A and B are shown apart, each in its own frame.
Chain A
Amino acid sequence: MISSLLVRPIRWSTALDAAGAWLLALVWIAPLLFAVWASLRAPGEALDFSLSRPFTLDNYRAAWVAAPWPTYMLNTLMLVTFTLAGQLVLCTLAGFAFARFRFRGREVLFVLVLLQLFILPEVLIVENYAMVSRLALLDTIAGMGLPYVASAFGIFLLRQAFRSVPVELEEAARVEGCSWLGVLWRVYVPVTRPVYLAYALVSVATHWNNFLWPLIVTNSPDTRPLTVGLSLFGAPESGVNISIISAATLMVVAPLLLAFLIFQRQFIQSFLRAGIR
């Protein structure tokens, strides 16, 4: 890297660009870096930037024992799994119907489905709460996940993916005696695997981070996901100091953040693929 800088004459604009980009990058991760710093300092010394003071893991210990994090984590995992599993099944079937079947009313139905991109579950919290309550699903994982299972976004994404599959592939399978579901399972799903991966990553990230709806539906520590647990933990009236809040926040974001750092390329590609189609 150094040699290339020496060989090529450095252009001012390029250097300025690089400097600007780095500066913005630093500013952008500064909140995270400050939190890491604060979480490792004794309470009251969060903003003491001298290296002579000792570092400590006490904040993590204090945060860990102050709330049932393993339960929260398990709930988040179950929520994410339940939602994704449901989405994959339902959106596959619906996407397949829209992509490969002709029937009366298909276009109208498709527009109805797309409407859900705008009639957001977030906005319908009041009546969705009533519905979940009617179904006796309050304070359950299913209640948290169900409104998101018939994802218009997923149906749309998979419909587009299925439509791009060459019909010849399907016909070959049909000649060999595959049923419709067989064709779906043996031809369409394998061919569009990258789209599934992209959708899965986006879905997991979305529901791992979802807050408002789980907050409304849950009312016990046994079902609360991480985000809701964290919000209760960090509440100012709980009197927890900033170092401990930082430690708890970092514990909560650590799994997803680590996954992101390791699979950064796939993550960004997935968001791209899911967003662009």
Chain B
Amino acid sequence: MPRSRALDPIAQRQRRLHALYGWMLLTPALLLLTLFAFLPAAATLWGSFFSRGTPRRPAVFNGLENYADLFADPTFWTVIGNTLLYAAVTIPVSIALALLMALWADGRMPLRGFVRGAYFTPTVLPMVAAANLWLFFYTPGLGVIDAFTGLFGLPPVNWLGQPQTALWAVIVVTVWKEAGFFMIFYLAALQTIPPDLREAARVEGAGRFTYLRRVLLPLLMPTTAFIFINALINSVKLIDQLFILTKGGPNNATKLALYWVWEMAFSYFDRPHAAAMTVLLLLVLGVVAILHFTVFDKRIHYR
């Protein structure tokens, strides 16, 4: 904007009006964001420094004691281990499956509409319903899996009831639910890649896998980064299936971070420790946000 305009009283008045309108338009959204994001986040941090109050003994400031309690609690380390394993398996597996699905659903083949629909269907189901469907697979003795393995004379397995298999059973449900959703983003990205590239690669004598590795994957990097961030966030927030399948058991084997927060706050009414755990989760999400805005931002679809 030219310097002389700044002195022009009409323009100045115009600009002030502009600012006023801008703020007015933003007020409702900012109010709600304050009520349900910023204040609660601040209150969580604040509350995590206080002891649990009782009617007779009010809460007192106890510094980092709640955090120390968490670190000293073996359950904490089980939960962290579970969540890390859960994320480390569900994220790459669902991304790889999503890519495979997209490559197939993008190609020419009979019944392509059916194939696309089948991959995407789990996305429109509530997680609770998806978990119910899988319950029917996992039920020991009566479930689909046991009926199938029984044909080969294998004994029934309590997939959700034993610590070695329970988390894996939950992971399968999550992958099933998420892969088709992520496929959509790959599908969109694939459609922007010019077909000439494939021709050129073929002329150069590149096989399918060379083409995939040297041409497609690099071009799909921004999409992969976008999906990765989404998958990371989902592995923190998506815990609905636990309520149906395992309730965090057996013996904490499927207790994920947010489920533990819920349990501490709403089953044991231990808000200070739930707050401390929430703060740790927010820290992780903060790192994800920084990763997103700095490392990936330029290359991601945003903007």
Is there contact, CB below 8 Å, between A146 and B32?
A: yes
Chain A contacts with B in 58-100, Cβ cutoff 8 A: 89-91, 93-94, 96-98
Is there contact, CB below 8 Å, between B105 and A21?
A: yes
A-B pair count, CB < 8 Å, reads: 282
B contacts with A: majority SS: helix
Interface string of B240-262 (1 = CB under 8 A from A): 10011000000000000010011
Is there contact, CB below 8 Å, between A124 and B41?
A: yes
Known A-B contacts: A24-B119, A112-B38. Give 8 more (CB < 8 A). A14-B109, A90-B29, A124-B278, A147-B32, A150-B31, A211-B240, A260-B120, A272-B184
- Using a CB–CB cutoff of 8 Å, the interface residues on chain B facing chain A are 15, 18-19, 21-23, 25-26, 28-33, 35-41, 43-44, 47, 100-101, 104-105, 107, 109-111, 113-130, 132-137, 139, 142, 144, 147, 176, 180-181, 184-185, 187-188, 208, 226, 233, 236-237, 239-240, 243-244, 258, 261-262, 265-266, 271, 274-275, 278, 281-282, 285-286, 288-289, 292-293, 301-302
Chain A residues near B101 (CB-CB < 8 A): 24
Residue of B nearest to A35 (CB): B133
| Distance A61 CA – B55 CA, assembled complex (angstroms) | 49
Is there contact, CB below 8 Å, between B237 and A21?
A: no
Chain A residues near B292 (CB-CB < 8 A): 118
| Distance A226 CA – B278 CA, assembled complex (angstroms) | 27
Chain A residues near B18 (CB-CB < 8 A): 101-103
Say yes or no for A180: interface residue by CB 8 A criterion.
Answer: yes
Say yes or no for A205: interface residue by CB 8 A criterion.
Answer: yes
Say yes or no for A230: interface residue by CB 8 A criterion.
Answer: yes
Taking the nearest CB of chain A, how far is it from the CB of B44, in angstroms?
5
Taking the nearest CB of chain B, how far is it from the CB of A121, in angstroms?
6
Residue of B nearest to A29 (CB): B118
Taking the nearest CB of chain B, how far is it from the CB of A151, in angstroms?
9
Is there contact, CB below 8 Å, between B37 and A275?
A: no
Is there contact, CB below 8 Å, between A123 and B243?
A: no
Is there contact, CB below 8 Å, between A101 and B25?
A: yes
| Distance A119 CA – B40 CA, assembled complex (angstroms) | 10
User: B104 is contacted by which of A24, A123, A267 (Cβ under 8 Å)?
Assistant: A24
